[in-house]
Amino acid sequence: MSLFKLAWVQRGFLVARRCVHNTAIHSSSLRDWSQLHPVALNYLTFEPSDGATRATRATRAPPDQASAPSKGPIVICHGMLGCAQNWSTLARLIANRTERMVLVPDARNHGQSPKLGPITYPHLAADLRRLCHDLDLNDITLIGHSLGGRTAMLLALLESAPIKHSCVHPTTRGGIKRMNNFLQALANVDFQAIPDSASFNQAKAIVDRILARSMGDQTLRSWLLMNLTQSSEDEGKFKYSWSFDVHLFEAHFEKDLVRVPGQEQWVPFGKPTLFLGGAKSNYIPRDGHDLIRRHFPGAVFDYVADAGHFVHVDNPEEFLRKL
């Protein structure tokens, strides 16, 4: 069964509130996409090929429609502090296995997309909607993780016309404190302490040592370090920074990214939807299936063995088999 994949954020979805707190966007106007001023997102494209998949990066230019497969495209929405590049390996595999074009956008304030606020789910959904509209995408299958899953779910619940299928994999309230700790650790990195003569690998090692003081998980640090960027000031001198504005995340995380707004405007998404969680995670609780089906009556639930929140990282082979 072909499915529209969204990332499931357990508590944030279950306790969705009626409005976005302390922002200019109210639930009564969530469908007025124009007032959200959606931004043009950077994205990568992956097309099926013989053994390798071509990836192209663009901000506004659409992918080569002439060479695109006849099947509808797959759009992958990454999680918070992630980026399109994180998904490159899996996107290539998905493109080849499904024989479909795969697009992976950088959400606003992520990767190479604009470092702009506000960062709210209505704004993120509006950006995603603009991308699909600008590229004239139809019969879309959405795959989302965490922040990207919530974004995809909101878009599906508000406007599902171009969306063919849907899927979801995980977030819990227990993750709020953890994310706040991540943001604090990222904000505490003093890039001025990195010599301007340091190579990228040297700078990466320095930042890794700084993060290790409060973050013991090497895999997690390596993932976060994919957001380290280098810019050239003078010949042989470099400046380092995060690809995102960490202060924007700090300003919006608990206020705007813990709950999904506009429940009174949600229209049940009846198309096939896979909620895919990790067997070691409680992000998609089994006692919450009935509540989820109120909004996604076509929901199917499945769990990946030996996987936690990062289902696609912990057990990528089984993750791919279940898509």
Shared domain for 95 and 227, answered yes or no, is: no
**Dihedral angle, C-alpha 244, 140, 123, 240, nearest 10 °:** 10
> What is the reported pLDDT for 41?
96
Kind and range of the H or E run holding 167: strand 163-168
Q: Residue 264: what pLDDT?
A: 77
Examine the domain organization and report whether 191 and 282 are in the same domain.
no
pLDDT of residue 10: 31
Query: Is residue 17 domain-shared with residue 98, that is, in the same domain?
Result: yes
Q: What does the pLDDT read at residue 279?
A: 86
212 and 302 share a domain? no
pLDDT score for 132? 92
- Helix 174-187 × helix 246-256 angle, to 10°: 160
pLDDT reported for residue 167: 59
At residue 257, what are phi and psi to the nearest 5 degrees?
Answer: -115, 5
Distance CA(4)–CA(26), nearest Å, equals 27
CA distance 287 to 307: 19
Q: What is the pTM of this model?
A: 0.82
Selection from 51, 141, 136 nearest residue 104 by Cα: 141
Task: Answer whether 103's CB lies under 8 Å from 45's CB.
Answer: yes
Whether 124 and 217 share a structural domain: no
Res 70: pLDDT? 61
Q: How much is the CA Rg of the chain, to the nearest whole Å?
A: 19
Write out the residue range of the structural domain in which residue 78 sits: 4-173+258-322
58: CATH: 3.40.50.1820
Residue-level pLDDT at 178: 81
Query: H/E element holding 46?
Result: strand 43-47
Are 224 and 210 members of one domain? yes
Element (H, E) at 242: strand 238-242
Residues of the chain with pLDDT under 50: 1-29, 51, 60, 66, 169-170, 172
CB neighbour burial string for 96-133, b if at least 16 within 10 angstroms, e if fewer: bebebbbbbbbbbbbbbbeeebbbbbbbbbbbbbbbbe
Note whether residue 42 is domain-resident: yes
